[in-house]
Amino acid sequence: MGDERLNNRAFSIGKKLSEGFGKALSEVFKGGNELKRAYEFLGIRKQTLSR
C-alpha cells in the first residue's frame, strides 16, 4: 500500500480474520475500538432499513 502503518494494519486484520475464519467480526475483534477500526479499514458501511 505504500504506507507502513496501513501495511501493518492490513496484515494484522488479515491475520485475525484468517484465525477467526467463519466467525462474526465481533467475535474476531474483541475490543470495541479494534472492531470499529476493522470496519473502517474494510469499508463496511452501516446498514439501515431505509429504501
pLDDT at 34 (0 to 100): 92
Residue 50 lies in a domain: no
**In b/e form, how buried is each residue of 30-45, taking b as 16+ CB within 10 angstroms?**
eeeeebeebeeeeeee
Number of domains observed in the structure of the chain: 1
The mean pLDDT value for 17-43 works out to 93
| 47 occurs within a structural domain | no
27 in a domain, yes or no? Answer: yes
Number of other residues whose CB lies within 10 A of the CB of residue 29 = 20
Q: Is 20 a domain residue? A: yes
The pLDDT, as a whole number, for residue 10 is 92
Q: 9 or 46: which carries more pLDDT confidence? A: 9
Residue 14, domain member (yes or no): yes
Mean per-residue pLDDT, 19-46: 90
Q: Is the pTM of this model over 0.85?
A: no
Q: What is the span of the domain harbouring residue 23?
A: 4-42
User: Does residue 18 register a pLDDT over 70?
Assistant: yes
